[in-house]
Structure 1
Amino acid sequence: MDKKMTRAQAGQRGGEKTAQTHGKNFYEEIGHKGGEKTAQTHDKNFYKENGQKGGQKTAQTHGRDFYEENGQKGGEKTAQTHDKEFYSQIGRKGGKNSHKNG
């Protein structure tokens, strides 16, 4: 009996073998190269559209708790890396924008 492997199966097998023989740095390096190449061949709209698609998909698959948790983490990290002046500036900007829209 001749059992041929599908293209997908062959790709998966090759990927598993590569993962066994290459470390994290290998994947970081090829990811960086791919990102540079993509940046050379695509404009801002490409990234904007992909970001919107990803955001819509995330919104469909994650609930409110997911966003609250991420917002909390982001706020904590920002508090560690920014001073009072930063918060003062963004507060003024927010006040100006709400005045324009209100």
Structure 2
Amino acid sequence: MAEQDKMSREEAGQKGGNKTAREHGKEHFEDIGEKGGNKTSREHGKEFYEDIGEKGGNASNNNN
């Protein structure tokens, strides 16, 4: 394969992501997201989300 024909890591990731999206659909990603959110909630608890919300709120206020 010639040097100019090589795919960047970003391009390869995008290509793989597009293929996965075509093969599995929106529900697949929703299921993964829900499982990840539930696990994070069990492991970190309410305070974790409060901290994230506060940081996001502060960032939004700083951008105005």
TM-score bracket relative to the smaller structure? 0.5 to 0.7
In structure 2, runs of 5+ residues without a counterpart are none
Query: Which ranges of 4 or more aligned residues in structure 1 deviate by more than 6 Å?
Result: none
Opposite residue 15 of structure 2, the aligned amino acid is R
Quick one: structure 1 residues 17 and 41, their matched pair in 2 at CA, closer, same or farther if it must change by over 3 Å? same
Q: Which runs of 5 or more residues in structure 1 are unaligned?
A: 64-102
TM-score by length of 1: 0.48
- SS of the residue 2:6 aligns to: coil
What's the TM-score once normalised by structure 2's chain length? 0.67
Where does residue 37 of structure 1 map in the other structure?
A: 39
Q: Partner of 1:27 in structure 2?
A: 29
What is the aligned-residue identity percentage?
Answer: 49
Structure exhibiting the larger radius of gyration computed from Cα positions: 1
Which structure is higher in helix share?
2
CA RMSD of aligned residues (A): 2.0
